[in-house]
Amino acid sequence: MMGSAMSFPLRDNGHEVRLVGTHLDREIIQSIKAEGLHPTLKRKLPEGIDCFQIEHLEQAISGADTVVGGVSSFGVEWFAANVLPVIPEGIPLLSVTKGMQNESDGSLISYPRLYCQLLPRASEMCLNAVGGPCTSYELADRDQTEICFCGKDIRKLRQLKNIFETTYYHISLSEDVEGVECAVAMKNAYALGVTLAVGLSERRNGIGGRLNYNSQAALFAQGLKEMRNLLKLVGGRDENILWGAGDLYVTVFGGRTRLIGTLLGRGMSFKDAMSELSGITLESVVIAGRTADAVRTLIKRGRASEADYPLLLHIDDIIRHDAEVDIPWSKFETEIVL
């Protein structure tokens, strides 16, 4: 959906766009070809887009100046195996996939770095990514949007900015790939945590009744605190928390992560909540699990403290150990002495 939504600023800037679906997107490509309608984005895409099924990937990429990667976190290994090898030398990749991969030693790495591990040739490619608060629906509606392109070459980033930036799509640039990607990936896990409070309010007041914002705000703040701790673990610059905070805000107020957090807060078991949302891609669950695994490993190695991640570890207990929702409020308290 986000990959398709990127066609809006590109077409508004007069660029030729070729949209390629994965093997799972055949009906979507057929719908766009027939009616111009993206059935899950629920928007008509701009006119003038050429659509291709996956079998014609090389034809679509031929002569391209830039490739946008729009797979979900579940598709990064497929993307590395099937798309990266086809991208010609010197053509930059801009990935819109938000997420991190945990390693056996507890480290968390960005998807651009993972691509280099999965495909050694990728280390010589121009790999870039997008971070920041942006939903595919509102990008397609041309709502004012502030995001960040990150990569290892500021000159290439400036070129990409020139291609994509519009009067509504505003782009900052950063060479801190791990920092930007960590900040925006973690929003998935912590948005689930914040929306537990939505479900708890509905459990007390009934669905559609009064929502309690004090508790949501407290969980939001705790999420940011833990996200800053995670930024330190990956060696990212602290100011990247701004991209994570904006992305967390957007995710809390809409989307799939809000649904799963709300159902769990109402008292539904994780198994039942997943059954209720069958067919919906829930990257928040994957990111929460990977991050918790990394943190637990680092705690065992003495490189992290359990006291720094009470919300994340509670979310993990709910998801993987069927724990009751019982927010550890007292563990969020701090004392600062000057």
CATH code that applies to domain 2-178: 3.40.50.720
Q: How far is CA 72 from CA 26, 95, 207, 279, 287, in A?
A: 16, 10, 31, 14, 12
d(CA 199, CA 195): 7
To which H or E segment does residue 95 belong?
A: strand 93-95
The predicted model gives 226-251 an average pLDDT of 96
331 band by pLDDT with thresholds 50, 70 and 90:
very high
Report helix, strand or coil for 47: coil
122 band by pLDDT with thresholds 50, 70 and 90:
confident
In CATH, the architecture of 185-332 is Orthogonal Bundle (1.10)
d(CA 32, CA 44): 8
The predicted model gives 16-40 an average pLDDT of 96
Q: Mean of the per-residue pLDDT values for the chain? A: 95
Q: How far is CA 320 from CA 75, 201, 292, in A?
A: 22, 23, 10
Same fold, 2-178 and 185-332: no
Contacts of 167 (CB under 8 A, 6+ apart): none
120 band by pLDDT with thresholds 50, 70 and 90:
confident
**Active site positions, annotated:** 187
Question: 198-222: per-residue pLDDT in tens?
Answer: 999 999 999 988 899 999 999 999 9
- Location of structure tokens 């990394």: 294
Domain boundaries, the chain: 2-178, 185-332
Position 337 scores a pLDDT of 97
To which H or E segment does residue 102 belong?
A: strand 100-102
DSSP string over 281-305: --HHHHHHHHHHHHHHHHHHTTSS-
Stated pTM of the model:
0.94
Contacts of 62 (CB under 8 A, 6+ apart): none
